Structure formats: structure tokens, C-alpha cells
Structure 1
Amino acid sequence: MPMVETRDGTKLYVKDWNPTSTEGTIVLIHGWPLNADSWEYQARPLAEAGYRVVSYDRRGFGRSEQPWHGYDYDTMADDLADIVSALGIRDFTLAGFSMGGGEVARYMSRHAGKGVRKAALISSIAPYMLKTDDHKEGVPEDDLRAIGEELKKDRQTFLKGFFKGFYGVGMMKHPVSDAVIDWSWNMAMMASPQATLACAQAFGFTDLRGDMSAFTVPTLVVHGTGDDTVPIDATGRLAAKMIGGNAELTEYDGAPHGLTATHGEKLATDLLTFMRV
């Protein structure tokens, strides 16, 4: 199994498709509480188009090792830097979905965006999830803390219900099949309980507003207007505004949070178009 060892000795599972490609490289960072397999609907078309596609399981998730510590954005950005260095990746596009957008933001600031030629924030939690006096569009603190309490009480049942909202499934609409929800739940169950809980704390309460000025490269911001998991006003729209002239905001009308699956083909096309420009 392909593994990269990070600076603190944690081994991370890495997929590296088309490593000898001359078309370009994209690094994909998955969301919470999934793993690299969740990029299925984008990774395959990108690889088929001739690009080198690198994706990996965040520490504590999927097939990566499950240390007790290290679930803060500084450490996770360092993990990304270690993967980029180990694989010799240069001049690449860096894309993060949901929680993964935080790793993109912290890598851009903490590691000066080393090697990044373009960035993409997909349904991203950046720049800030928490509702505060100076960020009234955010999610109330009680709602974010409730996630942790539910995870401690019955992680399995909580995540079963979570994925329905994640994909916008309701009484009258089914943007994805039951099989996709089961697939997502199975990925979530591969993660350690500690990583699942600690990362919920990280994405819910880490203020990344100070990192946004580090986006000095062309940046694609994609967000669904129907995202009830990560509200667009607190994140996608604000991220584009803070990045300024380097940002291209693309809103998917009515799309839920999990648009990597509900709008998989469209997102793959938009990423390909963005990389080719």
C-alpha cells in the first residue's frame, strides 16, 4: 500500500495516478469524515484527461495511520507539505473539499503556497464556520458543539443521519442513491473516533480569515447555494470576497454540501476547465 511518512512519523495512504504525466498535476484533499475515495467522480475524469492526480487519506482517516494527536490545521498543512515533498510535486493545482479547504488555506499561509500554481475551494469551510459578533453569517456555537456531543454518544447513528443532509436528501428529493450514502458512511466508519471528533473541532472553530491573504494564485471557489452543512454566505462567498481579484466564484444553484457526488460530472468539468486556462 503506498504510504508517505510525515515529519512526526505518521504514515499516510496516498494515491498517485499518472505520476509521469506532463499535462499537469492536481492534489485533492478530502472532506470530513471521508477519505480520498470520495473524489471518485473527479479523480477518474481528471486522470483520463491525462493529468497526474494525487489524493490521500488525512491522518486518522481511511487507510492512513491513526495517531492520537495532530488534528489541528498546522499539523495537517505540514502533512500536505510532506506529501508534496516526498512525491516531488511542483507547479500543481491544490483543491480542497469542505474541511479540506482549511488545509489549502493553511498550506498557502504556513508554507507560502509552495509549488501551487492554482487553488480550488470546493464547498469549503474557509474562512470561518463559527458565528461570532464579527461573523454573523456563521454557524451558532451550540450547533457546532452538538456535533461533538452526538459523536461521543453514538457516532454511527449520527453519521447515518448526517449524510442525508450532506447530500440534500429529503422526503421529496434524492440527489444521490441510498448506495452512495452507504458508501459514504462506510468511509466514515474507517476513521478513528478520536480523529472524527478532533477534526470536527478543528473545522468548526478554526478561524482561517487571517490565511486568506495568502491566496495569491488564481483560485476557483465552488459552493452550492443549498448547502445547509457549510453555509455559503459564511464561507464560499466570503472566501471569494477576501481573496479578491484572484478568485473566481462559481455557485451551483440549489446544490447541497456534497456536490462532489450530486454534481460530480459538472465539478469535474469545471476543474478541468479551470486547470486548462
Structure 2
Amino acid sequence: MDVVQLLVNVGALVGGAVIWKLYVDNLKSAVAVKDAAISSVEKNRDMWRDKAQELEKRSPEFMERMLSERIQTRESEISRLAEDKGRHEEALTLLEREKANLEADLSRSRGFSLMLALEEEEYAGDEEDVENEVESPASMLPQVGQIKVVRLGEVGVDSGQLMITDPCYIDQEWQHDLAVDDEMLAKITSEQPLDRDRVDGDDQRLRPYSYRGVMETTLTTGYGDLAYRLGHAGAGVAFSTAWGDGVYPVYGEMHDGRIIRVYINVG
């Protein structure tokens, strides 16, 4: 009986050891799975954090913050140099000029922020169409790189209005034979601002791609599309200027040397 009891006890110990080993192995396996899940979550977190940082670098808010920091640095340098103005007169002048340019860039970047907000509203209602496209406008932008606002040049205005068009359309699509109404010509060439109370703001008719069409557009809605000879939109866009005649600067937002947006300061 003692031998049988001993064998039973040994068997119980061996069975318990096997069960304990299986339990420990199960715990180790569960811990390994959990560690793998945590590692996967951390990789996804790092990936999305990097993407968020890249998108932040492309945003107008990032440009504004960067320009504001540079302006603060220049202000501190100006204050330091002002203590010994006689010795640093030339350096002080250069810093003040650079600060003025930075402040102008900051002001223009806020205008780009408004344009981006308009773009977001425009594409918000067309998400399904964008998903079906081969390449969306956002995917065509450079992913990461230098962003800056540069002065592209200036444009002269003598009729209080401007038009954006592709130059190749002028010879084949521009309708030179459309007569210009004398009253309309008097209004558009007058130095007096247009009385917007007399303008039909709901008039969205598509005007012809001609000088008369441009004037009809700017004297009614103030802006609008111009039509090809076949009658569909896209030949150009006409709009009135806030200050009438003059010479207006044209600025561009450049991503890695490529012009992404253009801003014309007409007011």
C-alpha cells in the first residue's frame, strides 16, 4: 500500500507540474501576443504622428508661426542694435527691411489660409468623386519640403477689371467682333466706384469670351466665368478690382520650387 500511495503521489506531482508548465506557457504566449499588439499600435502611432507633422509643415498656420518667430527674432536683434545705433546703422537698416518683408509675407500667408478654407469647403461635398479619381488635387502636392511666398511680378489695370485665361485661347476663342455698349464702356472707364445697390447679384449668366463679356460680368456680379465659342465655361474668369485702375502685385505660394497657388492683391 505504501508503494501504491507513493506512486499515486508521484503521479499527482508529475501531473501538477505538467499542468503548471502548460499554464506558464499559456501566460508567456498571451504576453507575447500582447507585446506584439502594443508594438503594432506604437508603430501606427509613430506613423500617424509623422504624417501629422508633415501635414503641419505644409499648412499656412505653420508658415504663420514660422514667420512670427522670425519676426520676434529680428525685433530682439533690432532692440539690441538700437543701443549702439551709431556703430550698427547699416545692419539696423537691413534688419528693419527684412522685418518689413517678413510681416508682408505673414499678411499674405493669412490670405492663403482663407483660400485653403474655401478649398476645404469645396472638396468636402465631393469626397466620393475624389475617391474615384485616379489622382486627387491633394495627392499632386509635394509631400514635404520648403514652403515660401514669393512676389511673381505685377499687373497693370486701366479698366478696373482683370481676367485669368490661358494665352493659347486668345487667338482662336476671343470674340473681337462683339460690340461694346457705350453706356457700359462709360461705366467701366469711369473713376467712380460701381454702385453695387444697382447690380443684380443673382445674375449668373455665362458671358462670351470677349471684352464685352468681361465688362458685363464685372458690372453685374463682379466676377464670373467666360464661355468658349461653343458655349461652355472655362475660357477664362473675369473679376473687378477693389481699387480700380493701378498696378497690382502678384504673389505665389511655392512648394519645393513649384507654384501651387497664386494671390493677386487688388484691394
- Of Structure 1 and Structure 2, which has the larger fraction of its residues in helix? 2
- Normalising TM by the smaller chain, what interval? under 0.3
The higher radius of gyration belongs to: 2
Provide the TM-score with structure 1 as the length reference.
0.19
Q: Which of structures 1 and 2 has the larger relative contact order (alpha carbons within 8 angstroms, sep 6+)?
A: 1
